[in-house]
Amino acid sequence: MDYNASFHISATGMVVEKARLDVTAANLANVHSTAPAGGQLYRPMRVVSRESPMTFSDQYGQAEMVTNGGTQLAGIEPMDVAPKMVYEPGHPDADDKGFVSYPGIDNTSEMMNMMSALRAYEANVVAMNAARTMASHTLDIGGQS
- The pLDDT tens digits for 67-91 are 567 788 889 999 999 999 999 999 9
SS3 at position 51: strand
Q: Which pLDDT score, from 0 to 100, does residue 65 have?
A: 47
Helices 107-143 and 3-29 sit at what angle, rounded to 10 degrees? 160
Mean pLDDT of 79-106: 92
Angstrom distance (rounded) from CA 87 to CA 74: 38
For the cut 70, the answer to whether the pLDDT of residue 127 exceeds it is: yes
Question: Would you state the pLDDT for residue 86?
Answer: 94
Please tell me the total count of domains within the chain: 1
Q: Which domain holds residue 98?
A: 3-143
Residues 137 and 131: their CA atoms lie apart, in Å, by: 10
pLDDT more than 70, % of the chain:
83
Tell me if the pTM is above 0.85.
no
